[in-house]
Amino acid sequence: MNYELVIGLETHVELSTESKIFCSCGGHSAAKEPNDCVCPACSGMPGMLPVMNKHVVELAVTAGLMLNCDINRYTTFDKKNYYYPDLPCAYQITQLNHPICTNGCVNLKTSAGARDIRIKQIHMEEDAGKLVHGGKYSYVDFNRTSVPLIEIVTQPDFRSAEEVVTYLNKLKSMFRSGGISECEEGAMRCDVNISVRPEGSEEFGVRTEIKNMSSFEAIEKAIRYEAQRHMDALEFDTEELVQETRRFDDASGKTFAMRNKETEADYRYFPDANLMPIIIDDEWLEKIKANKPAAVDEKAEDYRLAGISDKEIDMLISNNKISKLLDDIVAMGANAKDGAAWILTDCAGILRKDGKTLNDLVITAEKLYAVIKMVDNGDISRNAGKKILIAVVEQGVDPVTYCKEQGLDKKFDVSAIEAVVDKAIAENPQSVEDFKNGKVKALQALFGACMKELKGAGDPAVIKTLLEAKLK
Ligand code: ADP
Ligand code: MG
Ligand code: ZN
């Protein structure tokens, strides 16, 4: 018999916030050493109360908008109770009754064509800590405790492993470009719910849930293994399928039963009376909408129309900081294609010399645009612009002041260049003679002498034109 695969995903994403969800400890990626981002609140000391981080709500709403969800204007938190050493309060603050977003939809383009995956809901919650096992002891690290997460729950709409991976890649690129999460390894974790059913059947089969997967490669392998196990069970009666939670073992490529599926009642959920309901009014929602970056596909399309290459678009789309810098200078008046070159070629080149990448770039849109504007206005040559950019990127100088101090603007001045050209001609009679006798290369020597005198800041086109005119 032919079987159809049915998959639903629960994806946890760590949000890129400055601080944790209910206290002012540093957020995801702030920690350097175990337990150095911990306070009485997030380590569960008696009497400490949670204070909601407003930015978490804004990022969750932004994610909901990107995934075409309804944004619920009234949203509340609940306590999910269970004991584990990495959970200091013995409950997790999450959302059960009134999640922040519901009823979304994501369009996927795979080899099987375009498909819509329905999003059941997105809710906000806090992460748990981490246990570290070593030798005789186990250690607990609370750095991750109370780091904000959103959990995105889909309907059981996936029909293949390929669709799952396409979906996860799409979420990743959207969330990166939207400043929601960098989605590094481990910051995006999935629970994969799987069942199979005879092709054509309307009813769902028994599902199992594979917990806590973060590598896309492993997710694909786990789905293939688990689907085969289900099909064998149905086809050959190899075992009885039960609804349960399983884990995937990467080494053997197999899944193993962990525990029977727990139910809602097991967690004794109840409303968290320490946190007020959050009301998202029109004004706040409009503000979040206005700040929402264009959806990835839309944005890539805009860049493509501006003449930016596919390779550059990939670099921009995967780096929110850089694409925002470009969007900002374009808003100030820079040409998008030219601006992309200034950032992705020039700035990246300057950083590369010191073994750094664009992630290390520190420059304001104002300063970068000031450099570009001087070049575009013809105040300075592009070469001089590059020199100024180096000083801006490396020392944070003010570009206009620096340009004046270094006299880089004067070097573009035609009369200043003319004097240099005259000097080069006067000091190199042999080259002049050679040129007149038809040696084209001699012009290169004179040109080099001018560039040397101008310390590379002169506009090559202007020098060439003046040289040729004078020699004739
Ligand atoms: P629970 O509350 O038990 O976790 P949910 O209704 O929240 O159940 O569903 C959890 C996930 O399991 C969702 O992503 C959903 O799409 C998926 N799911 C539900 N039923 C099935 C099924 N029969 N096969 C595969 N996935 C399923
Ligand atoms: Mg669930
Ligand atoms: Zn804290």
What string of DSSP letters covers 73-97?
SEE--EEEE---TT-TTSEEEE-SS
Q: Which CATH number fits domain 414-471: 1.10.1740.10, 1.10.10.410, 3.30.470.20, 1.10.10.10?
A: 1.10.10.410
Per-residue pLDDT, averaged over 220-226, amounts to: 96
Residue 192 — very low, low, confident or very high, per pLDDT cuts 50/70/90? very high
Query: In this model, does residue 296 exceed pLDDT 70?
Result: no
Report percent pLDDT > 70 for the chain.
98
Distance, CA of 371 to CA of 400 (rounded, Å): 8
Query: In this model, does residue 412 exceed pLDDT 90?
Result: no
Give DSSP secondary structure letters for 376-442. Answer: HTTSS-HHHHHHHHHHHHHH---HHHHHHHTTTTGGGSHHHHHHHHHHHHHH-HHHHHHHHTT-THH
pLDDT tens digits, 243-280: 999 999 999 999 999 988 778 888 999 999 999 999 99
Check residue 411 and give its pLDDT. Answer: 62
Per-residue pLDDT, averaged over 383-394, amounts to: 94
Query: In this model, does residue 95 exceed pLDDT 80?
Result: yes
Residue 453 — very low, low, confident or very high, per pLDDT cuts 50/70/90? confident
Per-residue pLDDT, averaged over 384-408, amounts to: 92
Check residue 319 and give its pLDDT. Answer: 80
**8 A C-beta contact, residue 174 and residue 119:** no
Neighbours of 173 (CB within 10 A): 17
Per-residue pLDDT, averaged over 353-358, amounts to: 88
Per-residue pLDDT, averaged over 24-44, amounts to: 91
Q: Which of 9-23, 56-70, 316-330 is predicted with the least confidence, judged by mean pLDDT?
A: 316-330
Write the residue with the smallest CA distance to atom 3 of ligand 1.
263
Q: Which of 228-242, 296-310, 444-458 is predicted with the least confidence, judged by mean pLDDT?
A: 296-310
Query: In this model, does residue 124 exceed pLDDT 80?
Result: yes
What residue spans of 273-381 are helical by DSSP H? 282-291, 296-305, 310-317, 320-332, 336-341, 348-353, 365-376
Per-residue pLDDT, averaged over 216-241, amounts to: 94
Answer whether 193 contacts ligand 1 (Cβ < 6 A): yes
Neighbours of 391 (CB within 10 A): 18
Distance, CA of 61 to CA of 74 (rounded, Å): 12
Q: Which of 78-87, 275-284, 393-402, 452-461 is predicted with the least confidence, judged by mean pLDDT?
A: 452-461
> CB within 5 A of ion ligand 3: which residues?
23, 25, 39, 41-42
Q: Which ligand is closest in space to the CA of residue 192?
A: 1
pLDDT tens digits, 414-432: 777 888 899 999 999 998 9
Check residue 459 and give its pLDDT. Answer: 78
Q: Which atom of ligand 1 is nearest to the CA of 206?
A: 23
Residue 202 — very low, low, confident or very high, per pLDDT cuts 50/70/90? very high
Answer whether 156 contacts ligand 1 (Cβ < 6 A): yes
Report percent pLDDT > 90 for the chain.
65
**Torsion from C-alpha of 452, 458, 464, 466, nearest 10 degrees:** -110
How is the chain split into domains, by residue range? 3-279, 294-405, 414-471
Query: In this model, does residue 237 exceed pLDDT 80?
Result: yes
Query: In this model, does residue 360 exceed pLDDT 90?
Result: no
Find tokens 């101090």 and name the residue: 405
Per-residue pLDDT, averaged over 68-77, amounts to: 97
Write the residue with the smallest CA distance to atom 7 of ligand 1.
153
**8 A C-beta contact, residue 54 and residue 279:** no
Candidate of 164, 207, 219, 263 to mutate for ligand 1, largest count of ligand atoms within 8 Å of Cβ? 207
Answer whether 194 contacts ligand 1 (Cβ < 6 A): yes
Write the residue with the smallest CA distance to atom 4 of ligand 1.
263
